[in-house]
Structure formats: C-alpha cells, structure tokens
Amino acid sequence: MPDIDKINNVAVADISKLDSITFADGQKVNNQSVSLVTDAHTLISTSTASNATSIDISSGIDSTYDVYMFDFINLNAATDNTTFQFQVNATDGADYNDSAITSTHFAAFLDEPSEGTSSGLYYDGSRDAAQSTSFIPLEHYVGNGADESISGRMWLYAPSSGTYVKHWMAQFSENAQHNAAYSTYVAGYINNTTAIDDIRFNMASGNLDGVIKMYGLAKS
C-alpha cells in the first residue's frame, strides 16, 4: 500500500488529530484501508469542579452500559479534613436521600517521615454503612493544602437493573491532610431493585475542585 502524503489536499504532517471520526467512517481514507484501534471503554462524560458544592452526574447512566467506571482525578477540598462521599437517586427519587446502601470500608496508611512512623491496615467501622440513606464515605481526611488531593476509581454494575441490587467497588489513593498516604477500599451495594440514574459526589463539608470522568464498558 502506498504511503499517504495528503488527505483531501491537507498534508498528513499537518493533521494532528482525526477528531469525531467514527470507526465506520475511518475504515477508508481516500480509498486507502486503515486499521484503527477500537476501544470498548467509552468516555461518557467529564465533570470538572471548581469550588463546586458537588459533582452531579444525571445523564448517561442508563441501560446503554452495564459496567460503569468513574475515574476521580485530584479532588481537592475547600475545607480541611473532610470526607469525600456519594449517594444516588433511583428513577423514583430526587433528593439523594432515599437509597439504602450497605458498604464496607477499610484502609492502609503510612505517615510521611516528617509526621512519624505510624502505619497500618484497618477496617473502619465508623465509615461503613448499614442500610444507610445518607451520603456514603469514600475517603476521609481529605485535605485542603495546595498539593493535597485524592484520586481513585469506582465501578458501578448494572445501574439500570430492575431485578438486582446495584454492586459498586471503589479504591482511592490519598495524600491526607495530616501528611500520610492512605489507600482506601470501599464497596457495597445499593439495596434497591429500581434503576439508578443519578449520582452525586461531594465533600461532607465545603466545596471541591477536581475532575470526574465516567466511562462505559461496551455491552456487545
């Protein structure tokens, strides 16, 4: 196959991206077959908070996908020593206050050398939930220092199911407000067989900065 120098009279070297080209459209360029990398990992939305009270995702959670992945990127609190948390709305709810969630919560931590030598792995019985309709803690000790943040990932399974509870799992890495590394694992289920279509993330106190990306994994 000959090399392509120009596409529609535009030098290939001048083309930095082929944005908005679907795989089907991109199978041939000027009649030249091309092979594009498919990705069954679709970015649905990017939510960027800047001193926001919460990040609410209220579109894109439906039956299009049955595995949703949320990436949390450098969430920073306006208020020191607070807790990052979430709650959902079922399709018959509105105020993020009536979905019962049962969860587990455990963490490993290590102080920075300047703070001491404490380390450990523990189950956190004060931050798990037993059929709670309140916001569910995902990470605590979130700091408001300029370089302090949390990042992590959360999986949500089949939120549109009308049959099963909704399982979810999350892991975070944190540069905590007291200068320690925390690796936190939180999981559970939304004990509701009604479809879930809204999710809210916020800090227990004060506003937040940061980015949340929501992806869907292909169904077929």
64 vs 61: CA distance, rounded Å: 8
Of the two residues 63 and 205, which places its CB atom closer to another protein in the complex?
63
The phi-psi region of residue 30 (left if phi > 0; otherwise alpha if psi is between -120 and 50; otherwise beta) is left
* Ramachandran angles phi, psi of 12, nearest 5°: -55, -35
Among 105, 136, 139, 201, binds another protein (CB under 8 A): 105
Residue 27 touching another protein (CB under 8 A): no
Of the two residues 103 and 202, which places its CB atom closer to another protein in the complex?
103
Q: How many residues make up the chain in this entry?
A: 220
Of the two residues 7 and 187, which places its CB atom closer to another protein in the complex?
187
Residue 154 touching another protein (CB under 8 A): no
Task: Tell me whether residue 61 is exposed, middle or buried, using C-beta atoms within 10 angstroms of its C-beta: 0 to 12, 13 to 18, 19 or more.
Answer: buried
Minimum CB distance to another protein, residue 155 (Å) = 7
How far apart are the two ends of the chain, measured CA to CA in Å? Answer: 32
Residue 18 touching another protein (CB under 8 A): no
Chain contacts with another protein (rule: CB under 8 A): 37-41, 66-67, 102-106, 121-123, 125, 128-131, 155, 157-158, 161, 163-165, 167-169, 185-189, 191, 193, 217-220
